[in-house]
Amino acid sequence: MELLIAQLKELGFTEYEAKAYTALVQNSHVSAYQVSKNSGIPRARIYDILDALVEKGLVLKEETADQTTFSSIPVAVFLQQIQQRWQSNFTSISDQLEKLEIKEQEAEHKVVTLKGKEAIVNYCQSLLKQAQKKVILSMWEDMYEELREDIHEIAKHIPVHGITLYVEDHLASIDQHRITRYTRNASTPHWFILSIDGKQMIYGHSPSNQETAFITNDPVHIYLLEDYIWHDVLINRLLKRDDTELEEWITKERKAFFLE
């Protein structure tokens, strides 16, 4: 019951209004005194609370010569009213915020930090829905699985290219990264890059490793990271030729380059 009261408060009800309505759902056609007793609302406040709910159309008031009783409106009607109110508020908020949002043709190039797994995943999903021309990505399996449904849906309409690690049943247009000692190492950080139309990008560690990512519309960032993905794809395609000496040479050169 405490959770229900808290959820009703989130919808704009006061605690006493929520308690009064839920008490009436359980016991209708009762006096104000009985509502006060059932809900724990002080008798000094119960009439004001019930009158407020009557004004909102959520409680029915029946007056006879002998007594005044109160009943809740049917739950189905209550839920329909709440849904309509929420949808109306959502539409109004959306319209107002979109008008406030400045959309200049030459937007300031920037890199901003986004924290929290849910926020990162939601932002990726939002970007995928905005894609119109192409999607380029690089992901380990944990992030890919979070976005699988969205990636496969957008792939029905526009090209999706890139590379993944340890992903089963990925899109045919996406390359599978080769397995190496580096990728097998449990301490190797999982990362992801998601680029939309060459104009917007989010990248960072997969949220399961570190709940921080970076968002950018900076063309230099986007070019460099998309080029990084292409080079990763290219190396993997070259190594599919099963040239052991080539893979050993690349491993040696990588260690020398990164001073490992």
Q: What does the domain layout of the chain look like in residue ranges? A: 2-76, 111-257
For 220-249, write each residue's pLDDT tens digit: 999 999 999 999 988 888 877 666 677 777
Percent of the chain with pLDDT over 70: 93
pLDDT for residue 105:
43
Specify the pLDDT at position 88. 85
Q: For residue 204, which of 105, 78, 112 has the smallest C-alpha distance?
A: 112
116/99 Cα distance (integer angstroms): 27
Higher pLDDT, 109 or 92: 92
Q: Which fold does the domain 2-76 belong to in CATH?
A: Arc Repressor Mutant, subunit A (1.10.10)
Is the pLDDT confidence value at 89 over 60? Answer: yes
pLDDT band at residue 16, thresholds of 50, 70 and 90? very high
Residue 206: pLDDT band with limits 50, 70, 90: confident
Q: Are 82 and 11 in contact (CB under 8 A)?
A: yes
CA 36, CA 20: separation in Å to the nearest integer?
8
Contact 193, 182 (CB under 8 A): no
Q: What is the mean pLDDT of residues 103-119?
A: 76
Residue 78 in 3-state DSSP?
Answer: helix
Length of the chain: 260
CB 22 within 8 A of CB 4: yes
Residue 107, pLDDT above cutoff 60 = no
pLDDT tops 80 at residue 47: yes
Structurally, what CATH architecture does the domain formed by 111-257 represent? 2-Layer Sandwich (3.30)
**Residue-level pLDDT at 138:** 95
**In which band, very low, low, confident or very high, does the pLDDT at 184 lie, cut at 50, 70 and 90?**
confident
Q: Do domains 2-76 and 111-257 have the same CATH topology?
A: no
Taking residue 22's Cβ as centre, other Cβ atoms within 10 Å add up to 17
Q: Which residues contact 172 (CB under 8 A, 6 or more apart)?
A: none
Which pLDDT score is estimated for 255? Answer: 77
Contact 149, 129 (CB under 8 A): no
Task: Kindly state the helix (H) or strand (E) to which residue 168 belongs, with its residue range.
Answer: none
Nearest one of 120, 150, 121 to 135, comparing CA atoms = 150
